[in-house]
Copies of this chain bind each other. A is one copy, B any other.
């Protein structure tokens, strides 16, 4: 009897160590993506091709991290067969890591746009709006990682609530770009890139919202859908 209890304690201890490794790796991936998105926005605002190139190159590490997380979660489920909150922990990382990885992909797309825009006629007014939108997206990414670490579902609801700001910003940037492009053909190339970059930033908000749903799942064990009504009206 005592022997079995001892075995159980040992196994529990190993599981907790592995779970901790998973959390650390997920947090590391989150920090890398957070840096990628903030660097891509900075590179875009500063017309800094070198920094943009760096974001593109570093994305490889983010993808590797996601693969490692996937392998680790599968190993954990197969070896320890976790239930209730332990299972939730593992599943949250497995699902949310896809969303985090995709935010990284969008940082790459923004960086590619930065490089392609070199030498085109800029529209400072739009660049200011995109920089503001980029900052909002960065704050949302940072906040959702914080909510995940603190297991704070209230914060997750609030972050998802803020997503409409990015939708409105996209709408405004898109309309202004169209007017510029219609009035001055020399702004067509930059205007098209601005529209795409704003679209990428808006999508980042959607991925953050998905991660918010997983933070709520982690806390309450319920799968919720945030902002769906709002999306329908868009």
Chain A interfacial positions (CB closer than 8 Å to B):
56, 60, 63, 67, 70-71, 74, 77-78, 81, 83-84, 87, 91, 94-95, 98-99, 105, 112, 174, 177-178, 181-183, 185, 188-189, 191-192, 195-196, 199, 206, 223, 225, 228, 232, 234
Chain B residues lying within 8 Å of A94, measured Cβ to Cβ, are 91, 94-95
Check B196 against A188 for contact (C-beta < 8 Å): no
Cross-interface CB contact of A188 among B56, B178, B206, cutoff 8 Å: B178
24 sampled A-B residue pairs with Cβ under 8 A: A60-B228, A63-B225, A63-B228, A70-B95, A74-B91, A77-B77, A77-B91, A78-B83, A78-B84, A81-B81, A94-B94, A177-B192, A178-B188, A181-B188, A181-B192, A183-B185, A185-B185, A188-B188, A191-B192, A192-B192, A195-B195, A195-B196, A196-B196, A199-B199
A8 to chain B, nearest CB (A): 16
Chain B residues lying within 8 Å of A174, measured Cβ to Cβ, are 192
Q: Quick one: copies of this chain in the complex?
A: 2
Chain B residues lying within 8 Å of A181, measured Cβ to Cβ, are 181, 185, 188, 192
Chain B residues lying within 8 Å of A177, measured Cβ to Cβ, are 192
Given contacts A60-B232, A98-B98, A225-B67, contact A189 B178 (CB under 8 A): yes
Task: Tell me the nearest residue of chain B to A99, going by C-beta.
Answer: B98
Chain B residues lying within 8 Å of A60, measured Cβ to Cβ, are 228, 232
Cross-interface CB contact of A87 among B74, B192, B225, cutoff 8 Å: B74
Chain B residues lying within 8 Å of A56, measured Cβ to Cβ, are 232
Chain B residues lying within 8 Å of A99, measured Cβ to Cβ, are 98
A20 to chain B, nearest CB (A): 21
A34 to chain B, nearest CB (A): 21
Chain B residues lying within 8 Å of A70, measured Cβ to Cβ, are 95, 223
Check A223 against B189 for contact (C-beta < 8 Å): no
A185 to B81, CA, bound (A): 62
A203 to chain B, nearest CB (A): 9
Chain B residues lying within 8 Å of A77, measured Cβ to Cβ, are 77, 87, 91
Check A188 against B182 for contact (C-beta < 8 Å): yes
